[in-house]
Amino acid sequence: MLNRGYAYTAIIRSQYHGQTLLSHLASLYSHSTTEAWQQRLNNGEVTLNGVAATGGESLTSGQTLVWNRPPWIEPEAPQHFEVLLDDPHLLAVNKPSGLPTLPGGGYMENTLLRLVQQQFPTADPVHRLGRGTSGIVLFAKSPQAASNLTASWNTTKIQKIYRAVAQNIAEHDSYEILTPIGLAPHPRLGQVWAAKSGGKPSKSLARVIARGTGNTTDAGTTTFEVSLYSGRPHQIRIHLASIGHPLVGDPLYGLTGQPLEDLPGLPGDGGYLLHAQFLKFRHPVTGEPINLEAALPSEFSLHP
């Protein structure tokens, strides 16, 4: 089933001043070839300051670039979620693995945001989980709740605890992980978030729940409970990988928290077990304590 299409909008930044439009599109948005971008230009899908573009235009800083992508058939994704909390100010749901939180990466309608807003039109997510990550996603339903939650989200006022199944047997029972996270170059993706010296300060606490040993499907794995004290992109995946424990089945991150050069799949693909299990905070309007728990998916039953 076709979606409604989407208009991708960008403002030309100063470093791209003087480039031709076609070379700019092909270099910056390398998911498509130069030939594919020229065909889109020929089809009238791309405008520059509201005027249909041909590709030969010389770019000027501050111009508005729009790609009016025609409707397309989106990849399949789960179409369900479980409501954990619903009041006049808040909504919390349990997101399944495989369902994007927000539009992007080829998904527009098959997203948690679209599914939730069909039932709760005023709900806006306070944060997001990766497509392959399951668990609690919190939505604000009033401006007061949104403002208060946004201000306190990455502070100790909100406790976020995840369950993760990682490669290799952990030597210690707990780890404080302070690996900085920043953008790193990648030959296929251009750049991606990764462990990076000089990156943004980040903090996670990982506690061993169980170690898989012997001749079982869990052999050589460790199940962690991870508490977040910052909110960097892919933080748990990067942090556990940086201490020698990439998530089992992670298509993007390997040992040391660096992205794999030969990716076994797309960066957003699932296949790993990461679940936002607990969320604890005070209600942003009433002040009452809120303790949310999302039941572990059945896949976790294969691990301790």
Residue 265: which pLDDT band, with cuts at 50, 70 and 90? Answer: low
Reading the block at residue 115, the tokens are 């599914």
d(CA 218, CA 107): 33
d(CA 42, CA 142): 44
Yes or no: say if 139 and 161 are a contact pair by the CB < 8 Å rule: no
- Which segment, 85-99, 211-225, 251-265, is predicted with the most confidence on average? 85-99
pLDDT value at position 192? Answer: 87
26-55 average pLDDT score: 93
Low-confidence winner among 202-206, 209-213, 286-290 (lowest mean pLDDT): 209-213
Cα dihedral 175, 178, 183, 184 sign: negative
d(CA 140, CA 287): 15
Q: What percent of the chain has pLDDT over 70?
A: 95
Please determine, for residue 262, whether its predicted confidence score (pLDDT) is greater than 90.
no
Please determine, for residue 28, whether its predicted confidence score (pLDDT) is greater than 60.
yes
Q: Which of 209, 210, 202 is nearest to 228 (CA)?
A: 202
d(CA 246, CA 272): 10
Tell me whether the CATH fold assigned to 6-69 matches the one assigned to 74-153: no
Please determine, for residue 215, whether its predicted confidence score (pLDDT) is greater than 50.
no
CATH topology classification for 156-272: Pseudouridine synthase (3.30.2350)
Q: Which helix (H) or strand (E) holds 174?
A: strand 174-177
Structural domain 74-153, CATH architecture: 2-Layer Sandwich (3.30)
Which residue is it, tokens 């948005």? 29
What mean pLDDT value characterizes the chain?
91
pLDDT by residue (tens digit) across 7-16? Answer: 999 999 999 9
Q: Which of 63, 65, 69, 62 is nearest to 7 (CA)?
A: 69
Report in angstroms the alpha-carbon separations of 83 from 119, 154, 166. 11, 23, 28
Query: What phi-psi label fits residue 63: left (phi over 0), alpha (psi between -120 and 50 degrees) or beta?
Result: beta
Please determine, for residue 158, whether its predicted confidence score (pLDDT) is greater than 70.
yes
Domain 6-69 has CATH 3.30.750.24: no
Rg over CA atoms, the chain? 21
181-194 average pLDDT score: 84
Low-confidence winner among 88-97, 127-136, 250-259 (lowest mean pLDDT): 250-259
Low-confidence winner among 7-11, 53-57, 87-91, 104-108 (lowest mean pLDDT): 104-108
Please determine, for residue 188, whether its predicted confidence score (pLDDT) is greater than 80.
no
The structural domains of the chain, with segments of one domain joined by +, span 6-69, 74-153, 156-272
49-69 average pLDDT score: 95
pLDDT value at position 113? Answer: 96
Q: What percent of the chain has pLDDT over 90?
A: 75
**Amino acid code (one letter) for 222:** T
